[in-house]
């Protein structure tokens, strides 16, 4: 029997993409079968892409439990985040492995046998070496609608940059203390940096609060706010990917917009602080990206 590489798929689209990408890499390495375990089928968002693997409902017995090695990403004890933020500590049947040095586990890529992944795995080093395959898997299964196709043409007509503004649920008291929200000043300074380096830049703004983005002049005069893909976030990702440059929020969704569209000339500006509750956390932002203070 080929090894089963199963991954728990949950949370929003950006997090589901991380959960898929690490499992895809493990499955290719082990020549195993990829299984996507759907914690909540109603929230499952990956079918818009050309993803591989088969789907299974949560609770399905894939193989005898004693033959599974379960890898669960959890917070290390010293990190003050709620249990839902399971991105640091690795635990398995053999016991708990704690410590900040385990934020990235390269040995994970050499596991043998059946594996079940639970967590977010927000680090490109888990899958960067199969980038062409990830780009193919995360291509849209169906094309853009007419309005987005017209926007894509404008994006490609001149040097462009996307600005992604994440607010929404980040504004609840718990999430604001945990994640923090990128300030308008962060985006204004990012715009200054880009305009100083790229003449004739056209700005496209993506946000879950487009009215706030417009009221705060995100992207400056002449910026185009993309506000019609609330029910098709993958279309926004495709447009973000097409932009020449990127300014992202502390959001896995905008992270993928930047990563999928990387090219030698791309400037990507990312928040210096990804998690307000853990300001020293840096692993999710590649070192080649420019970090900018984003205090709110």
Q: Which residues of 171-180 are buried (b: 16+ CB within 10 A; e: fewer)?
A: eeeeeeebbb
**CB atoms inside a 10 Å sphere around CB 144:** 18
Same domain, 273 and 165: yes
Parent domain of 59: 4-137
Cβ atoms 250, 179 nearer than 8 A: yes
Same domain, 44 and 170: no
Q: Crossing angle of helices 233-242/252-260, nearest 10°? A: 40
Same domain, 186 and 77: no
Same domain, 119 and 153: no
The last residue of a domain, from among 102, 137, 172: 137
Estimate the share of the chain in helix, then strand, then coil, as percent rounded to the nearest 5.
35, 20, 40
The rounded distance, in Å, linking the Cα atoms of 18 and 125 is 11
The rounded distance, in Å, linking the Cα atoms of 140 and 51 is 9
Same domain, 133 and 11: yes
The last residue of a domain, from among 86, 117, 137: 137
Same domain, 119 and 217: no
Same domain, 177 and 236: yes
- The token duo for 155 is 């994006």
The rounded distance, in Å, linking the Cα atoms of 151 and 108 is 41
Residue 239 is part of a domain; what is its CATH number? 3.40.50.11350
Per the structure, the count of domains in the chain is: 2
The last residue of a domain, from among 137, 155, 183: 137
Provide block-wise average pLDDT over 10 residues at a time, the chain (296 residues). 89 96 95 94 97 92 65 50 31 31 71 84 94 98 97 98 96 90 97 97 98 98 97 98 98 98 97 87 92 82
Same domain, 117 and 150: no
* pLDDT for residue 98: 32
* pLDDT for residue 43: 96
Same domain, 121 and 16: yes
Same domain, 200 and 121: no
- The token duo for 169 is 């649920």
């Amino acid at each position: 029997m080929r090894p089963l590489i199963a991954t728990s798929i949950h949370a929003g689209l950006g997090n589901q993409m991380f959960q898929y990408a690490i499992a895809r890499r493990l499955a290719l390495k082990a020549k195993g079968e990829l299984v996507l375990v759907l914690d909540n089928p109603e929230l499952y968002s990956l079918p818009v892409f050309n993803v591989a693997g088969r789907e299974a409902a949560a609770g399905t017995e894939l193989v005898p439990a004693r033959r599974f090695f379960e890898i669960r990403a959890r917070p290390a004890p010293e990190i003050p985040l709620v249990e839902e933020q399971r991105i640091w500590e690795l635990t398995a049947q053999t016991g708990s492995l704690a410590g900040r040095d385990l934020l990235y586990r390269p040995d994970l890529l050499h596991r043998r046998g059946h594996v079940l992944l639970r967590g977010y795995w927000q680090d490109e080093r888990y899958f960067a070496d199969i980038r062409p395959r990830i780009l193919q898997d995360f291509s849209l299964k169906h094309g853009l609608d007419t309005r987005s196709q017209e926007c894509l043409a404008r994006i490609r007509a001149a040097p462009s940059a996307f600005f992604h503004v994440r607010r929404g649920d980040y504004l609840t008291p718990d999430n604001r203390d945990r994640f923090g929200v990128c300030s308008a000043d962060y985006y204004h300074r990012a715009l200054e940096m880009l305009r100083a380096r790229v003449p004739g830049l056209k700005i496209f703004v993506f946000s879950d609060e487009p009215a706030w983005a417009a009221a705060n002049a995100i992207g400056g005069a002449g910026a185009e706010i993309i506000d019609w893909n609330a029910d098709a976030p993958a279309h926004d990702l495709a447009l973000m990917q097409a932009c020449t440059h990127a300014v992202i929020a502390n959001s896995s969704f905008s992270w993928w917009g930047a990563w999928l569209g990387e090219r030698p000339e791309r400037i990507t500006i990312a928040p210096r602080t990804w998690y307000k509750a853990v300001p020293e956390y840096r692993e999710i932002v590649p070192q080649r990206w420019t970090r900018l203070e984003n205090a709110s």
